[in-house]
Amino acid sequence: MKALYQQVKESLLSLIGHAVEAFPAFITAIIVLCLTSYLANLVRQVVKRIGVRAVKSLSLRSLLVQTSYVTVWVLGILVASVIAFPDLRLGDLIGLLGLSSVAIGFAFQDIFKNFLAGIILLLQEPFRIGDQIIVEDYEGTVEDIAIRSTQIVTYQGEIVVVPNAVLFTNPVQVLTAQRFRRTDLEIGVDYNTPLRFAVDVLLQAVLEVEGVLAEPKAEVDGIGFGDSSIDFVVRYWTLPQKIHVRRIKTKVIIALKEACDKADINIPYPIRTVYYYDQEKYNDNASISNGRKAGE
C-alpha cells in the first residue's frame, strides 16, 4: 500500500514539475497569439491602404487584404505551437499537416471548395463589388466578396450570403457588366391603324423619354398578328442599374399611352362574346332520348 502511495505521489510531483517547466512556454505562446492578433489587424490595415493606392479593382484589394490577414495568423499559430511544445519542431509540424491534409480535406471539403472558388472569383472577376447579378433565385447588388462566401443585398434590402462554390458552379447573370441595357416592351394597336404611322408614333414617343439612350438607337418591330391587335415590341436602351431600368420603363409606358391617345391610335384589349340560349329549346340530350323512344 505504501509503495502504491509513493508511486502516485511521485507521478503527481512529476506532472506538477512538468507543468511548472512548461508554464513559461505556454505564457509565451499566449503572448505570441496576442501579438499575432494585433499584427494581423495592423497588416490588414496597411495592405488595405496600399491597395487603395496601387490596385484599382475592389475584388483584388479584398483578396490581398484577406490573404495577408490569414497568412499572418497561420504563421503566428505555427510559432506559438513550436514555443508551447518545444519537442515539436517546425518541420515535424509541417509534416504532420501534410499527413493529415487528406483527412482534413474530406472533413472540410465544402470549406476548401468555397475557399478555392472564392480565390478564383476574386482573381478572374466575372463580377465585381457593386455589380447587380442574378444567381439561382437571388437577385441584387454584390456588397462583399469574401474568400468563403459572397454577400448580395436584394432590392428589398435583405442580405443573402451565397457560398462561393454556388457562384462558381452555377450560371451567374451580371446585369451591370455592360454600359447599357435593353428593355423590350410589347404593345398592340388596332387592326384599322396605319402601321407605318403607328411605328413612327411609337418610336418618336420613346425617343423623347428622358433616360432613354440615343445610342444604341431605339427600335419598334412588329412581332405578329394577335387575336385583337397587331403586336409590336418597343426596344430601347438605358443605364444598366435596376433603378434606371424600372423608373424609365414606367416613363416609357406613360409616353406610349399618351402618344397613342394623341394620335388617335386605339390600343385594343381582348374581347369575349357570350351567347345565351334556351336550354329547353336547344337540348340535344332531349332529342336523343325522344329518338330512342320512337325507335322502341
Percent of the chain with pLDDT over 90: 39
Report how far residue 280's alpha carbon sits from residue 290's, in angstroms, rounded to the nearest whole number. Answer: 13
Beta-carbon contacts of residue 85 (< 8 Å; ≥ 6 apart): 25
- pLDDT at residue number 73: 81
- Phi, psi of 188, rounded to the nearest 5 degrees: -120, 145
**Strand partners for 151:** 144, 161
CATH class, range 178-296: alpha beta
Q: Which residue has the higher pLDDT, 79 or 273?
A: 79
- Sheet of 172-174: strand order equals 159-163, 149-154, 138-145, 132-135, 172-174
Determine the straight-line distance between the first and last CA of the chain, rounded to whole angstroms.
119
Where residue 134 falls (left for φ over 0; alpha for ψ -120 to 50; beta otherwise) is: beta
Q: Which residue has the higher pLDDT, 48 or 172?
A: 172
Rg over CA atoms, the chain: 37
Average pLDDT over residues 240-251: 94
Average pLDDT over residues 50-67: 73
Q: How confident is the model at residue 286 (pLDDT cuts 50, 70, 90)?
A: low
Compute how many other C-beta atoms are within 10 angstroms of the C-beta atom of residue 260: 20
- Measure Cα distances from 91 to 130, 175, 236 in Å: 44, 50, 65
Burial class (CB in 10 A: 0-12, 13-18, 19+), 172: middle
In the predicted structure, residue 278 carries a pLDDT above the cut 70 = no
Provide the residue type at 47 as one letter.
V
Lowest mean pLDDT of 66-70, 73-77, 288-292, name the range.
288-292
Q: Answer yes or no: same fold for 123-174 and 178-296.
A: no
- pLDDT at residue number 224: 92
The runs of H, that is alpha helices, within 85-194 are 90-99, 101-107, 109-124, 164-169
pTM above 0.85, yes or no: no
Every domain of the chain and the residues it spans: 2-99, 123-174, 178-296
Report how far residue 289's alpha carbon sits from residue 107's, in angstroms, rounded to the nearest whole number. Answer: 78
CATH class, range 123-174: mainly beta
- pLDDT at residue number 262: 94
In the predicted structure, residue 213 carries a pLDDT above the cut 90 = yes
Residue 32: name the closest of 61, 75, 2 by CA: 75
- pLDDT at residue number 13: 52
For residue range 113-169, what is the model confidence (pLDDT) as tens digits?
887 888 888 778 888 889 999 998 899 999 988 878 899 999 999 999 999 989 988
For residue range 79-109, what is the model confidence (pLDDT) as tens digits?
777 777 666 655 555 555 554 555 555 545 6
Beta strands 149-154 and 159-163 are: antiparallel
Scan for cell 513559461, then name that residue: 24
Long-range contacts of 55-63 (CB under 8 A, 24+ apart): 57/125, 57/128, 58/128, 58/129, 58/130, 59/121, 59/122, 59/125, 59/128, 59/129, 59/145, 60/122, 60/123, 60/125, 62/122, 62/129, 62/144, 62/145, 62/146, 63/119, 63/122, 63/123, 63/147
